[in-house]
């Protein structure tokens, strides 16, 4: 055949089920030798799960993995590593308290007789690797002292150190500067020439088209497109990512936008790495308006929400609610003023997993059910039941631990908790993350309805289609700044993506635009 | 057909339900088991006199365990309670014997109500120091309270130069003559200490179950970040639990001084370990967010009856220590099994609903 690249590893009929969601659904995926195998899809499409399966972090519920004709199963990462599979995780997996060299050789220490670490050899080998990556990071530096971009280089060096046959890169460029990206691409070309199979995940579509040899598109746990990269362009990828039959976004009941309910002026937050995580952000939100903030990871969107929610003492600037300044320093004070936050990370910030659904929902609004200091459980139960019905949360009993619910229902519990405080302004950080498509549509319908009832909604997303179809107005953030504002009529995918890339050097053309 | 299909997976097997109930009641079952065992194995075990003596032992540990339970639910630990018992006992002894010198050779003597108030405040104060270390200064609870364990014990020893304050019979002139009644007195035939346990236990249970404060204590232990973002004042809650634990320890300090009619600076050594054991036996999780006051009291009863019963049977003290340890370990192992089963059952129920 015309196919020059041998298939090294393939997955057949791969299905992965988590409680409540089906992350992978009958997936067939091939990894080819000496080529860049690109994997692309929206958040929650299942890319990371697929990667974790190949790297041995997660195991398939059903389906098989075949490597060079033999079925294999990876019970752990070390199992996968023994088969020559390396992975560069999206969230950096480094030990900040150890040196660069120690990190690169962790669990594979060069040791004499298996006991005595040959520190000098390691240092030299580490320096070699870093030189290959054209960086002069000292092997003795503590990883915690490095910039995020440099840490990513170390992570890449770590993967290179283990002579892999398959190297998985999950968003390797998300924290790299333009010149560092160029270096990385040269390293990838070099690895390809040596016959290494590279699995490459990224949100930056131009990047994928440039370096990919094969492309596979995932949507909601299913493969929607898979072919050689020849002739593939960005629109083809987008079409497969989003699908021809667009999702049900319950396009709006027409509603009028009211007076201003919330205003932020010149919000600044210094970042730990120098510069600003939130850089002079000003915005206004009106009653009944859904204002979408689009941006890539690390654009400062979540940090801005944290400023609104009084999480950063050092933040400067001022907020106004109904035109009156909001000076409260405590979260409860701000909740009392009518702000409610639905955090990005449901598990770590939104819910208390071991407590019952009821106690989670009323946590922010317990005062409503108190007379004197006595808590009326009867009124509490009734209040919860009302919201469970209103938001159509599917639960067997409000007394079950919230951890037993599916992602979508958990998210609705978080929304219920926010709504029980009678907010005027709802802040939603990635409201559709990690929930299945049916629940997504329901969450969006709820957002529409709340806006129609006069609530101001400010939501953050890195899902392009979501921001375009849901928002009355769109703001784009990049590197802590607001880099674009569009009305829903004038917003196009290209314009929004271009604005989101401002400050990230790969698209210098848009800087002048 | 659809109705049948939906009905089938909804049922969680009866066996599992029964098993879960059994596991949930395990502390009670353990309590009945030790009671039945000792009433057969140890003569005089069910005598009224014996029961009252045991109740008095249990009440002291029970009071400490109540304070400890709140602290552990917030994912903290309070190692200083034993030292607070010693320090507050010495305070009570000092105030009764020496009064407070105000200069010119005069001393102010307080009446007993005032002394009780002052001593309780000392306990709360040490708790507040723990709280400030944990919240404002971000010291790990284990280390913070280990520090106050030593400091409070040192202060207790300093207060008398290591000596015992003897003969704390008080004087009727100063209104302190009824001090021994706190430890030895009875009301309706039940020792005063046991009444204290009942009152503190009921109030604490009410706080835990029926007030926002209680709810916030569980929330902070379950997920501090989520609680903070929900508007819970995490630091205030933590301050409360350490101060409350200090308060409970101060009660114990006064009562023991009264029982002995003397204040001894080494009193209360290793009490904190018994309190932790009672809390854990009662189902309190050291990883936070889970536990109950009732459980802690039952746990204190199991430990107390176990050690007193073994004494009555004439079992060697060394074996007693081993048995106590084994019981605590077994309790935690069973607790893990219960958690797994409970998670399994509610997951099944919700999954059945999602189909």
- Answer yes or no: do B343 and A353 touch at CB < 8 A: no
Please report the beta strands in A173-259, taking only residues with DSSP state E, as ranges in sequence order.
197-201, 214-219, 222-228
Cβ–Cβ gap B226/A367 under 8 Å: no
CA distance A28 to A319: 50
State the residue for tokens 């989101």: A500
Instruction: Name the fold adopted by A260-352+422-512.
Output: Rossmann fold (3.40.50)
Q: Which of B227, B231, B353 sits opposite A352 (nearest CB)?
A: B227
Fold of A7-242: Rossmann fold (3.40.50)
Find the mean pLDDT for residues A76-92: 82
pLDDT in tens, B151-193: 999 999 998 888 888 877 777 777 777 788 888 888 888 889 9
CB A304 within 8 A of CB A484: no
Provide φ and ψ at B282, rounded to 5°.
-85, 10
Asked if the structure places residue B16 within a domain, the reply is no
ipTM above 0.85, yes or no: no
Q: How many domains does chain B have?
A: 1
Nearest-by-CA chain B residue for A377: B210
Residues B146/B79, Cβ–Cβ less than 8 Å: yes
**Would residue A146 be called left, alpha or beta, if left means φ above 0 and alpha means ψ between -120 and 50 degrees?**
beta
Spell out which residues of chain B touch residue A363, defining contact as CB-CB under 8 Å: 215, 219, 227, 230-232
| Contact across the interface for B212 and A364, Cβ inside 8 Å | no
Interface residues of chain B, partner chain A, Cβ below 8 Å: 210-216, 218-219, 222-223, 225-233, 289-290, 342-343, 346-347, 349-354
Do A260-352+422-512 and A7-242 fall under one CATH topology? yes
- Domains of chain A: which residue ranges? 7-242, 260-352+422-512
The Cα–Cα gap between A491 and B308 comes to 78
Residue B198 lies in a domain: yes
Is residue B275 one of the residues assigned to a domain? yes
Average pLDDT over residues A101-106: 87
Q: For residue A311, report the phi and psi dihedrals to the nearest 5 degrees.
A: -95, -10
- pLDDT by residue (tens digit) across A381-411? 999 999 999 888 888 888 888 887 777 888 8
Query: Which residues of chain B make contact with A406, given a CB cutoff of 8 A?
Result: 350, 354
Number of Cβ pairs < 8 A linking chain A and chain B: 107
Note whether A352 contacts B346, CB cutoff 8 Å.
no
Neighboring chain A residues of B353 at a CB cutoff of 8 Å? 394-396
Most confident of A73-77, A143-147, B237-241: B237-241
pLDDT per residue over B224-259, tens digit each?
Answer: 999 999 999 999 999 999 999 999 999 999 999 999
H helices present in A5-147, as ranges: 47-54, 77-82, 100-104, 119-132
Residue B21 falls within a domain, yes or no? no
Residue A104 to residue A439: CA distance in whole angstroms:
42
Mean pLDDT in residue range B87-96: 92
Q: Write out pLDDT tens, residues A444-470.
A: 888 988 998 889 999 998 778 788 888
A332 contacts B219? CB cut-off 8 A:
no
CB contacts, 8 Å: B219 with chain A: 352, 355, 359, 363
Chain A residues near residue B213 by CB distance under 8 angstroms: 373
Q: What percent of chain A is modeled with pLDDT above 90?
A: 19
| Distance (Å) from the alpha carbon of B74 to chain A's nearest alpha carbon | 13
Domain containing residue B144? 41-349
Report pLDDT digits (tens) over A268-315.
998 776 778 888 999 999 999 999 998 876 788 888 999 999 888 888
Of the pLDDT bands very low, low, confident and very high (cuts 50, 70, 90), residue A243 is low
> Exposed/middle/buried for A120, CB within 10 Å: 0-12, 13-18, 19+?
exposed
């Amino acid at each position: 055949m015309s196919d020059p690249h041998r298939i090294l590893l393939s997955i057949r009929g791969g299905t992965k089920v988590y409680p409540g969601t089906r992350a992978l659904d009958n997936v067939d995926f091939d990894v080819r030798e000496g080529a860049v195998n690109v994997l692309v899809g929206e958040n929650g499409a299942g890319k990371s799960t697929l990667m974790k399966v190949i790297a041995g972090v997660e195991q398939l519920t059903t389906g098989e993995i075949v490597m060079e004709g033999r079925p294999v199963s990876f019970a752990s990462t070390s199992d996968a590593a023994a088969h020559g599979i390396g992975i560069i995780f999206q969230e950096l997996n480094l030990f900040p308290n150890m040196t660069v060299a120690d990190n690169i050789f962790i669990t594979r220490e060069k040791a004499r007789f298996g006991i005595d670490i040959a520190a000098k050899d390691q240092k030299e080998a580490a320096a070699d690797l870093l030189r290959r990556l054209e960086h002069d990071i000292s092997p003795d530096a503590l990883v915690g002292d490095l910039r995020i971009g440099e840490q990513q280089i170390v992570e890449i060096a770590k993967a290179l150190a283990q002579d892999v046959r398959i190297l998985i890169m999950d968003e390797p460029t998300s924290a790299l500067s333009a010149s560092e990206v160029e270096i990385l691409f040269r390293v990838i070309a070099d690895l390809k020439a040596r016959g290494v199979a590279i699995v490459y995940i990224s949100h930056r579509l131009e990047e994928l088209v440039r370096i990919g040899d094969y492309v596979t598109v995932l949507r909601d746990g299913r493969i929607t497109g898979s072919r050689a990269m020849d002739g593939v362009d960005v629109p083809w990828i987008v079409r497969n990512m989003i699908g021809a039959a667009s999702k049900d976004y319950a396009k709006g009941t027409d509603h009028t936008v009211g007076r201003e309910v919330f205003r932020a002026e010149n919000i600044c937050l210094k970042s730990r790495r120098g510069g600003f995580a939130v850089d002079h952000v000003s915005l206004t939100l009106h009653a009944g308006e859904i204002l979408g903030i689009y941006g890539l990871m690390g654009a400062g969107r979540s940090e801005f929400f944290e400023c609104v929610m009084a999480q950063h003492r050092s933040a400067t600037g001022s907020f106004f609610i109904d035109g009156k300044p909001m000076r409260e320093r405590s979260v409860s004070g701000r909740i009392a003023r009518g702000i409610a936050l639905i955090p990005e990370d449901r598990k770590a910030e939104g819910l208390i997993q071991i407590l019952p659904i009821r106690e989670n929902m009323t946590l922010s609004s317990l005062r409503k059910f108190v007379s004197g200091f006595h808590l009326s459980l009867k009124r509490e139960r009734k209040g919860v039941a009302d919201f469970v019905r209103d938001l159509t949360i599917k639960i067997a009993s409000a007394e079950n631990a919230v951890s037993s619910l599916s992602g979508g229902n958990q998210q609705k519990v978080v929304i219920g908790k926010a709504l029980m405080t009678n907010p005027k302004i709802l802040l939603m950080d990635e409201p559709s993350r990690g929930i299945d498509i049916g629940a997504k549509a329901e969450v969006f319908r709820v957002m529409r309805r709340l806006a129609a009832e006069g609530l101001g909604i400010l939501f953050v997303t890195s899902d392009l289609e979501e921001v375009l179809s849901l928002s009355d107005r769109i703001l784009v953030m990049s590197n802590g700044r607001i880099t674009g504002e569009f009305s829903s009529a004038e917003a196009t995918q290209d314009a929004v993506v271009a604005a989101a890339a401002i400050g990230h050097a790969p698209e210098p053309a848009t800087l002048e635009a | 057909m659809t109705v049948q299909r939906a009905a089938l997976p909804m049922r969680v097997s009866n066996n599992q339900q029964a098993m879960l109930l059994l596991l949930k009641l395990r502390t009670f079952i353990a309590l009945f088991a030790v009671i039945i065992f000792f009433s057969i194995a140890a003569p005089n075990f069910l005598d009224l006199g014996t029961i009252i003596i045991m109740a008095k032992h249990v009440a002291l540990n029970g009071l400490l365990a109540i304070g400890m339970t709140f602290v552990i639910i917030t994912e903290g630990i309070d190692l200083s309670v034993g030292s607070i018992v010693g320090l507050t006992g010495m305070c009570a002894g000092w105030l009764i014997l020496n009064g407070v010198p105000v200069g010119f050779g005069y001393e102010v003597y307080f009446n007993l109500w005032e002394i009780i108030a002052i001593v309780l405040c000392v306990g709360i104060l040490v708790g507040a120091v723990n709280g400030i270390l944990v919240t404002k200064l971000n010291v790990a609870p284990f280390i913070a309270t280990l520090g106050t364990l030593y400091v409070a014990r040192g202060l207790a020893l300093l207060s008398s130069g290591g000596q015992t304050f003897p003969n704390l019979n008080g004087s009727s002139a100063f209104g302190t003559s009824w001090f021994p009644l706190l430890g030895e007195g009875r009301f309706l035939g039940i020792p005063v200490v046991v009444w204290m346990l009942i009152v503190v236990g009921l109030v604490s249970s009410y706080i835990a179950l029926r007030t926002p404060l209680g709810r916030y204590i569980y929330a902070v232990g379950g997920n501090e970040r989520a609680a903070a973002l929900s508007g819970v004042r995490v630091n205030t809650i933590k301050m409360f639990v350490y101060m409350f634990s200090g308060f409970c320890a101060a009660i114990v300090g006064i009562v023991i001084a009264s029982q002995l009619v003397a204040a001894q600076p080494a009193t209360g050594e290793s009490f904190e370990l018994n309190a932790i054991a009672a809390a854990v036996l009662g189902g309190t999780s050291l990883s936070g967010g889970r536990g109950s006051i009732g459980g802690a009291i039952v746990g204190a009863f199991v430990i107390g009856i176990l050690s007193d019963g073994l004494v009555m049977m004439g079992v060697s003290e060394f074996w007693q220590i081993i048995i106590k340890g084994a019981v605590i370990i077994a309790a935690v192992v069973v607790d893990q099994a219960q958690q797994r089963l409970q998670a399994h059952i509610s997951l099944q129920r919700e999954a059945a609903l999602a189909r």
